[in-house]
Amino acid sequence: MKTILLGQNKIPVPAIIQGTMRFDRLTTKEVAAMFNNDLENGTNFVDTANCYGKPEGLVESIIGKTFAENPGLRDKLILQSKGGITFYPDGRPYHNYSKEHLLKTLEASLSRLQTDHLDYFLLHRVDALFRPEEVAEAFEIMKRDGKVLHFGVSNDVPYGIELLQKYCSVPIEINQMQFSIAHADMCVQPIATNNHDFYAVDRDCGVLNYCRLKDITIQAWSPFQYGFIDGVFIDNPKYQEVNDAMQKVADKYGVNKTTIAIAWILRHPADMQVVCGTTRIDRFNDCCKACDIELTYEDWYNIYLAAGYPIM
């Protein structure tokens, strides 16, 4: 397992994270098997959120029951959850980063997860009404009470993070962002800048280089999805050209395309972690194999070009 040094504190953590957004389809026995398999692969980092599964908290509850049935398992893991997305009674989501709501969300997550603390707590999606002073107060209370050890954000842009950090005494160590071969705008935009090209439009205010500059670790979510979690691009006829390019590189290293999709992200020098959401042990093992290979410049750009991204 590749280790990366997370955030400004440079804490060694595994490059591959077990995502749990789709764990509502698993039994507690199957979740325990996934977590034990993660550990055998050398990764102990688990990502979840209050909003995974329906009703709210379902996935956290399944994970908590898994911990209760398997004493000692929680302590072997680095447990990360996210908050800030909430729901109307009819199921429509909205965002709430108020101090009161964040503290209440954390308590509910800890109770469902049957643990006394989270290792990492992330703000999930930007709240238009957020007041950084309030978030800072909430984070400080969580930290003071020993209920959260480290903090981060998700889907946030540089000035949002700067604004929050201005008031927070705790460092923002993580920004979780969607990133994959089929969703690579974050690293394509700087290449296309200064041109009349679709990819020249800066939609994230240079978040990739900003995070590198500030030693904020990017966690790449949905490494196999295109669009906004619209589906998998591997073996998808809409993505034939990039699948062909990935297959060639996969043959070269004696692995499959699942491994190459992760190796492509790990090859980026930003030293990202990758949040893999498969619910299958064999597929998770393929993800971990990516740590054993390093793509060459030629491999990486062949896949980049086949995905339709510009070179100027």
Ligand X SMILES: NC(=O)c1ccc[n+]([C@@H]2O[C@H](COP(=O)([O-])OP(=O)(O)OC[C@H]3O[C@@H](n4cnc5c(N)ncnc54)[C@H](OP(=O)(O)O)[C@@H]3O)[C@@H](O)[C@H]2O)c1
Enumerate binding residues for ligand X (CB under 6 A).
19-22, 47, 124, 154-155, 176, 221-225, 229, 232, 234, 258, 275-280, 283
Q: Which is nearer to ligand X, 74 or 82 (CB)?
A: 82
> Buried b / exposed e across 30-69, counting CB within 10 Å, b at 16+?
bbbebbebbeebebbbbbbbbbbbeebbbbbbbbbbbbee
Q: Which is nearer to ligand X, 46 or 192 (CB)?
A: 46
Q: How far is the CB of 196 from ligand X (least distance, A)?
A: 31
Q: How far is the CB of 255 from ligand X (least distance, A)?
A: 12
Q: Which residue is nearest to ligand X (CB)?
A: 277
CA-CA distances (angstroms) from residue 111 to 77, 106, 135? 17, 9, 21
Q: Which is nearer to ligand X, 83 or 223 (CB)?
A: 223
Q: How far is the CB of 253 from ligand X (least distance, A)?
A: 16
Question: Is residue 5 within 8 Å of residue 271, measured between CB atoms?
Answer: yes
Taking every pair of Cα atoms in the chain, the longest distance, rounded to a whole number of angstroms, is 58
Q: How far is the CB of 144 from ligand X (least distance, A)?
A: 26
Q: Which is nearer to ligand X, 22 or 166 (CB)?
A: 22
Q: Which is nearer to ligand X, 200 or 232 (CB)?
A: 232
Q: What angle do CA 23, 236, 269 make, to 5 degrees?
A: 70
Q: How far is the CB of 152 from ligand X (least distance, A)?
A: 10
If residue 138 lies in a helix (H) or strand (E), which one and from where to where?
A: helix 132-144
